[in-house]
Amino acid sequence: MPFREKSAWITILSMSAIYGLYFRSHAGPNSFHLGAFVETVVALVIVQIVLTVAVAIFSPRDAKAPRDEREKLIELRATRVAYGGLATGVLLACVFGALNPPIVFNPNALLFILVCAEVLRSAAQIVQYRRGA
């Protein structure tokens, strides 16, 4: 498994776990707390750095290898997929907000859309690595 595919797995698993806990404990109309958000981001950064360094230690040659054309193309395609998901999510958020929802539309909803787009980007990378794109 290439180093960049392992990095995509790290992103999916760490973001799903850490933001899953965040959204589970901060659900509701007025539940955005800056302190909890900062703690979540710091935890995510630490987990991703530790896991990426661990993977790099076990395969230093792959970690140091420059991206080739195939990897650049995979990253470009995955970003295009994620952008489509992000644009769709923002559009749906705008439509939902315009319909005068019964709850207050909070920053957590937009954060959720952003997290989903990033997980979608990593998933698209993994699929393309598996296909041999």
pLDDT: which is higher, 123 or 24: 123
The two tokens of residue 109 are 């909803």
Global pTM reads 0.86
Q: What is the mean pLDDT of residues 99-116?
A: 80
pLDDT digits (tens, 9 = 90+) for 26-48: 876 666 778 888 999 999 999 99
pLDDT digits (tens, 9 = 90+) for 87-101: 999 999 888 878 877
Domain boundary assignment for the chain:
3-131
**pLDDT confidence of 107, banded at 50, 70, 90?**
confident
